[in-house]
Homo-oligomer: A and B are copies of this chain.
Amino acid sequence: MSNNKAPKSVTLHDVAREAGVSLITASRALGNPGMVSEKTIARVRKAVEATGYFPNLMAGGLKSRKSLMIAALVPNIAVAQFLPTVKALTDALDAAGYQLILGQTGYDHAREEALLNTMISRRPDGIVVTGLIHSQVSRDRLRRAGIPVVETWDLSDRPVDMAVGFSHVKVGSAVAGFFLNQGRRRVGIATGDDQRAAVRREGFIATVGHDVPTAVVPAPSSLELGRRALARLLEQDPKIEAIFCSSDQLAQGVMVEAQSRGLRMPEDLAICGFGDADFAAHMNPPLTTVQVDGAAIGAMAAKLLLDRCNGATIAEPVVDVGFRIVERGTT
């Protein structure tokens, strides 16, 4: 009688029998309809309905060596900054029948390496990381595994494989130049503690020509942390004239704190954010900020990966999407 095994799931074998064709014909009818006659396809389709069959992508992927999955590593999904990228990526992949597996590195290099190992074990058809991959071991491993990789939000002379981003040094430099042009010399920085923000700071300082007051706050940045950052900067230089913030959230906090201290913007204090969050244009005064097209980064990363999956050779494996300073009321 019926023993207590798990209710054996319907397989392609059952479908084939129901349709009165061989296993492989059923397989082709579903995955490669061009090779099968209309009539057979119809029979198989009907058999699928009748049996309630669902393909098993694990089994298929094992043989075909295609998982139809792309792994994405972000520092922290809750950082609004990367959302448009993840969204654009997911949208583009979905449209091509691929799904995204998500991993959070928490800005932690060891965690990143561990996560990368896990992801490799899943045999994704591609990997997207935010920022450059830090561990040399991981870099080598990925190259050897031959998995297409896109490093995003940053540029590198020697990416693991492909890269889509912009130069953070140039961003810092551009903002510093912008402040200096306005005649503001007493400048400072409120920044998150991540690698890319640190590089922007380096570019900023290089252009200013000397070190500047800096308040570093832990990720993820928030309005609250911005308020405290301004307090700390004013301790370092009570007459500070301009502040470059590593995110608009932080800038928002700096502005709130500045207003509560009676500082006028831009007269007493100029502020430049980073990211052009949707609220930036609607603040009072509207926030000057650095705009980066995060969605374009995600879309381009998806395109590179999908092209590669389709066997294309990528002519330009490193794509610079650039940035621009959007001048508004705070400068």
Residue numbers of A with Cβ under 8 A of B are 6-7, 9, 52, 54-59, 61-62, 65, 67, 69, 76-78, 80, 83-84, 86-87, 90-91, 94, 97, 99-104, 115, 117-123, 141, 144-146, 222-224, 227, 249, 252-253, 256, 278-279, 282
What is the CB-to-nearest-CB distance from A53 to chain B, in angstroms, rounded to a whole number?
A: 10
A279 CB contact (under 8 Å) in B9, B97, B279: B279
Which of B52, B65, B76, B223 is in CB contact (< 8 Å) with A282? B223
Contacts known (A57-B122, A87-B76, A123-B57); A69 close to B278, Cβ less than 8 A: no
- State how many angstroms separate the Cβ of A57 from the closest Cβ of chain B: 5
Residue in B closest to A278 when the chains form the complex, CB atoms: B222
Residues of B within 8 A of A77 (CB): 77, 83, 86-87, 90
Complex: chain B residue closest to A253, CB-CB: B282
7 contacts between A and B (CB under 8 A): A6-B65, A54-B145, A56-B121, A58-B122, A78-B84, A99-B102, A253-B282
**Given A99-B103, A101-B100, A282-B223: A120 touches B87 (CB 8 Å cut-off):** no
Contact B54 A121 (CB under 8 A): yes
A58 to chain B: which residues have CB within 8 Å? 58, 61-62, 67, 122-123
Q: A62-B62, A146-B7 are in contact. Are A94 and B103 (CB under 8 A)?
A: yes
Cross-chain contact A99 with B78 (CB below 8 angstroms) = no
Once the chains bind, are B101 and A69 in contact (CB under 8 Å)?
A: yes
Given A57-B121, A59-B62, A61-B58, A52 and B86 touching (CB < 8 A)? no
A55, A86, A222, A278 interface centre (most CB from chain B within 10 Å) = A278
Counting chain B CB atoms within 10 Å of each CB, the highest count among A7, A78, A102, A123 belongs to: A102
Q: Which residues of chain B are near A65, meaning CB under 8 Å?
A: 6
Q: Which B residue's beta carbon lies closest to that of A102?
A: B100
Which chain B residues border A55 with CB–CB below 8 Å?
Answer: 121
The answer to whether B62 and A90 touch across the interface, beta carbons within 8 angstroms, is no
Which chain B positions have C-beta within 8 A of A224? Answer: 278, 282
Shortest C-beta distance, A86 to chain B (Å), equals: 6
Q: Which residue of B lies closest to A226 (CB)?
A: B282
A52 neighbours in B (Cβ, 8 Å): 141, 144
* Given A100-B101, A146-B7: A87 in contact with B78 (beta carbons within 8 A): yes
Query: Cα distance A287–B152 when bound, in Å?
Result: 36
Query: A83 to chain B: closest CB distance in Å?
Result: 5
Q: Give bound CA distance, A6 to B94, whole Å.
A: 28
| Bound-state Cα–Cα, A129 to B240, Å | 49
